[in-house]
Amino acid sequence: MAERVTIYEMAPRDGLQNEKAMIATPDKVRLVDLLSQAGFARIEVTSFVSPKWVPQLADAAEVMGAIARRPGTAYAALAPNMRGYIAARDAGADEVAVFAAASESFSRKNINCSIAESFERFAPILDAAAQDGITVRGYVSCVTDCPFEGEIAPEAVARVAVALMEAGCREVSLGDTLGRGTPERVDAMLQAVLRDVPADRLAGHFHDTSGRAVENVGVALDHGLRVFDSAAGGLGGCPYAPGAAGNLATETLDSYLRDRGFDTGLDRAALDRAATFARSLRKDLP
């Protein structure tokens, strides 16, 4: 029987968050519902962040309240602070995520605080989530490169990943935010992180800006990672990382994993329908 690899679907949140043209709430709901029909075990639906910073996701509660929840699918949301956590919990999020960076400069640009200060913000979220029985995922941005500092030392990534685990995160997603990671540098980064964090508590999040995301997934698979983030239709990027548009397309990742002999558990025809719809939401595509 083929080994299972979980694809963590990011299109509704990471894929749409910095689209300039506002996307109608029913279209966001439809995207999530199409992804649910494809059989994803985990979908990141939205972010409970101030509309001032991410206006595209100002309808987070409406979207969470309107989606058709599929048994067996966990619906997640970003929660950058306690106010966001409470809103996510009240909207029925099965999982919340907090985000950190391996780069001090990126942390200040992205969430307006130092790495150490970001952990002070996380602490009450993690305490509340533990009491509420809600799992928490931690993100580490800039695991190979930072738009402001250049190459990031593997040891810096490891320190943040360990801190997230010790804070109470169930899983840590390692993000190649700029999509500049090479297999060699991803290998070095993972070697450093895996000295202290087991592979079954890690996920890989590789942007495809340089066309090497699949190669980097291959390196991570060889290191034992079995969870990978992607976005249907290849949507997304980071508004605070210039030139980093483009998550790894879920359909590309699904094909690669199947070719490697892994089971993704997804209905490919339903995935293709979701990806087609996701791409239709991009106003900059022909």
Query: Is 175 within 8 Å of 139 (Cβ atoms)?
Result: yes
Q: From 120, 88, 124, 126, select the one nearest 107 (Cα to Cα).
A: 120
Give CA–CA dist 180/199, Å, rounded. Answer: 22
The set of residues, in sequence order, having a beta carbon less than 8 Å from that of 184 and lying 6+ positions away, is none
At 161 the three-state DSSP class reads helix
CB-based contacts of 215-220 (< 8 A; 24+ apart in sequence): 215/183, 216/176, 216/181, 216/182, 216/183, 216/186, 217/248, 217/253, 217/256, 217/257, 218/183, 218/256, 218/260, 219/183, 219/186, 219/187, 219/190, 220/186, 220/190
H/E segment holding residue 251? helix 250-259
Catalytic residue among 142, 146, 169, 238: 238
Structure tokens at 277: 């719809």
Query: Is 102 within 8 Å of 142 (Cβ atoms)?
Result: yes
Residue 238 appears among annotated catalytic residues: yes
Alpha carbons within 13 A on the beta-carbon side of 74: 15
At 206 the three-state DSSP class reads strand
Q: From 185, 161, 163, select the one nearest 173 (Cα to Cα).
A: 161
Give CA–CA dist 34/278, Å, rounded. Answer: 10
Q: From 150, 160, 114, 147, select the one nearest 240 (Cα to Cα).
A: 147
Active-site amino acid positions:
238
